[in-house]
Amino acid sequence: MSGNLEWNKIFGAGLATVFTILVVQQASGFVYQTKTPEKMGYAVDIPEEGAGGGAEAVLPPDWGTLIPVADLAAGEAAFARCQACHTINAGGANGIGPNLYGVIGRAVAGHAGFAYSDAMVAHRSEDPTWSLDAMDHFITAPARYVPGTKMSFAGLRDTETRVNLIAWMMTQGSSGYAVPAPDPARQPGAADAAVEGEVIVGGADTTGAPIEGAAGQSTVEATPAAPPAADSAPTGG
């Protein structure tokens, strides 16, 4: 008889435990109600490039001014992030990317023995050679400049870092590449100066169209003509 009582106690305890678990689940579900979001995940607001209205235009580097004063040591240090995919020594082997010895001035997709992507081969119609501007654009954002390229590097957005890197790369087999002369149109403030130089002259805007109303009137008062001298000779009979 006592044995039956023991089993009844065990069975009852098990039922009580199950009942307690069910009650706790129901109670917690009632207290902590969750609402399924309309859209899964979190919305991240990333402004598009060029958004913001009056964004200042970024001028390309003035190579003739910047290359001679570039920090070559900093450029070599910047190349450390490229070494996982590229070599730059003379006769160096291709890796994930092609060997870059003498790349400035070299034909785009022109290094022998490397299997370039179709996108890079097609890009030769836009940039036949790796000029300073072409290299600068590519290093800034490879996938944006050459959509479909196999190069997975995100890019260097800092202009000074890119200039130092490209200047150092020129010392690795591209020292014969002719650096263009300094270009005042590429120097800081040149774009603002060009806008300020568009002045209104003679009651017309920069398109040549006349300006109506008071704004089109000259701000310089006309000087009245001097009366003829009393002793001037007659011009005719």
Per-position DSSP letters for 1-43, written without gaps between them: -HHHHHHHHHHHHHHHHHHHHHHHHHHHHHHS-----SSSS--
Structural domain range at position 150: 63-173
Residue 67 has pLDDT above 50, yes or no: yes
Q: Total structural domains in the chain?
A: 1
Domain membership flag for residue 76: yes
Q: What is the pLDDT of residues 174-195, one digit of tens each?
A: 999 999 999 999 987 766 655 5
Domain membership flag for residue 10: no
CA distance linking residue 131 with residue 178, whole number of Å: 10
Domain membership flag for residue 38: no
Predicted pLDDT at 114: 95
Residue 236 has pLDDT above 70, yes or no: no
DSSP state of 107: B
Domain membership flag for residue 229: no
Residue 40 has pLDDT above 90, yes or no: no
Higher pLDDT pick, 106 / 197 = 106
Domain membership flag for residue 101: yes
Q: What is the pLDDT of residues 122-162, one digit of tens each?
A: 999 999 999 999 999 999 999 999 999 999 899 999 999 99
Whether pTM > 0.85 for this model: the answer is no
Domain membership flag for residue 7: no
Predicted pLDDT at 4: 66
If you search the block for the tokens 């106690």, which residue do you land on?
A: 9
**In percent, how much of the chain has pLDDT > 90?**
53
Give buried/exposed letters for 45-82 (b at 16+ CB in 10 A, else e).
eeeeeeeeeeeeeeeebbbbbbbeebbeebbbebbeeb
Domain membership flag for residue 8: no
If you search the block for the tokens 């060029």, which residue do you land on?
A: 50
CATH number at residue 149: 1.10.760.10
Domain membership flag for residue 203: no
